[in-house]
């Protein structure tokens, strides 16, 4: 009976070492959920031995490599850090407000202090736009028409702009037990997190399972389009683990 597979399959990444080379004591397997596309390519160099005739008399396979690529629809900060950055993560929220509602500049004291979501803390200014979409100019103090100044989240405008609608954009932090935040450090070359990749694809109970024991990612792409979902892409290469194992595969037939 023939075996067929269908669809993108499912891919898991289980972190084994962080970016400093420290072993992960209790690694959490991470599914690259809502998989869109997975490719695992196994290739090797071929060397031909020729004599005086046209065709080789022997063929040998030299260096080999395994590369993989996964595109998935469900974004997850743990996947991004554990499989690509491998650095310190905290349970807190770092986010940005892209203001599409706007606020009207009041009379004295001509100040707007946006309410930060989630009882959070204002972190940084990302500019102010007027009602026509033009950016206002930030100054250190005493703004005049078309200008503003900001101190720890309080935006001061000119008296001449009283009553005008403005859109205030900013970054902020907030307490969270779910969200993830990380500041990526400029670490030494050669260091990268290592993970095990497990792939499974099936149709009608006939499945193909493949495990790559040690992988390092060389690319994380966050791709967005107008009128479409963001589809992250993770590219990686596999190599032998400390026991010399490279991959394990199993098929229903």
For residue 227, give the CATH number of its domain.
2.30.110
pLDDT band at 4 (very low <50, low <70, confident <90, very high): confident
Last residue of a domain, one of 142, 175, 208: 175
Whether residues 219 and 191 share a domain: the answer is yes
DSSP state of 78: H
121 occurs within a structural domain: yes
Q: What is the pTM of this model?
A: 0.86
157 occurs within a structural domain: yes
Nearest to 221 by CA among 237, 229, 232: 232
Whether residues 97 and 171 share a domain: the answer is yes
Whether residues 68 and 100 share a domain: the answer is no
CA distances from 239 to 21, 49, 168, 211 (A): 15, 28, 49, 12
pLDDT band at 88 (very low <50, low <70, confident <90, very high): very high
Whether residues 132 and 101 share a domain: the answer is yes
Whether residues 98 and 159 share a domain: the answer is yes
48 occurs within a structural domain: no
213 occurs within a structural domain: yes
Average pLDDT, the chain: 94
Average pLDDT over residues 80-101: 94
How many independent structural domains does the chain possess?
2
Q: What is the pLDDT of residue 5?
A: 86
Backbone phi, psi, residue 132, to 5°: -95, 0
CA distances from 132 to 107, 128, 129, 135 (A): 21, 11, 8, 9
Asked if residue 62 has pLDDT above 90, the reply is yes
Nearest to 159 by CA among 149, 138, 145: 145
Q: What is the pLDDT of residue 2?
A: 72
53 occurs within a structural domain: no
Whether residues 118 and 81 share a domain: the answer is no
pLDDT band at 1 (very low <50, low <70, confident <90, very high): low
4 occurs within a structural domain: no
1 occurs within a structural domain: no
Whether residues 102 and 168 share a domain: the answer is yes
Whether residues 196 and 240 share a domain: the answer is yes
Structural domain including 163 reads 93-175
Last residue of a domain, one of 141, 175, 209: 175
Whether residues 189 and 82 share a domain: the answer is yes
Whether residues 103 and 168 share a domain: the answer is yes
54 occurs within a structural domain: no
Last residue of a domain, one of 154, 175, 196: 175
């Amino acid at each position: 009976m023939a075996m067929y597979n269908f669809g993108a399959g499912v891919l898991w990444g289980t972190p084994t070492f962080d970016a400093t080379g420290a072993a992960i004591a209790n690694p959490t397997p991470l599914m690259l959920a809502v998989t869109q596309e997975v490719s695992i390519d196994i290739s090797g160099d071929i060397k031909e031995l020729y004599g005086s005739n046209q065709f080789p008399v022997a063929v040998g396979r030299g260096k080999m490599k395994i590369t993989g690529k996964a595109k998935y629809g469900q974004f997850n900060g743990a996947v991004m850090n554990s499989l690509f950055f491998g650095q310190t993560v905290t349970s807190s929220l770092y986010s940005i407000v892209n203001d599409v509602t706007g606020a009207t500049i009041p009379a004295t004291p001509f100040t707007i202090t946006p309410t930060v979501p989630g009882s959070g803390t204002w972190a940084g200014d990302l500019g102010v736009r007027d009602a026509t979409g033009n950016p206002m100019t930030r100054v250190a103090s005493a703004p005049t028409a078309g200008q503003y100044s900001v101190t720890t989240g309080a935006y001061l405008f000119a008296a001449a702009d009283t009553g005008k609608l403005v859109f205030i954009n900013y970054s902020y932090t907030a307490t969270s037990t779910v969200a993830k935040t990380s500041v990526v450090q400029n670490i030494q070359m050669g260091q990268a997190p290592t993970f095990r990749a497990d792939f499974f694809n099936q149709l009608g109970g006939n499945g193909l399972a493949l495990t790559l024991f040690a992988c390092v990612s060389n690319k994380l792409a966050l791709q967005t389009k107008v009128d479409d979902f963001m589809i992250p892409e993770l590219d990686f290469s596999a190599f032998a683990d400390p026991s010399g194992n490279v991959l394990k595969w199993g098929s229903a037939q």
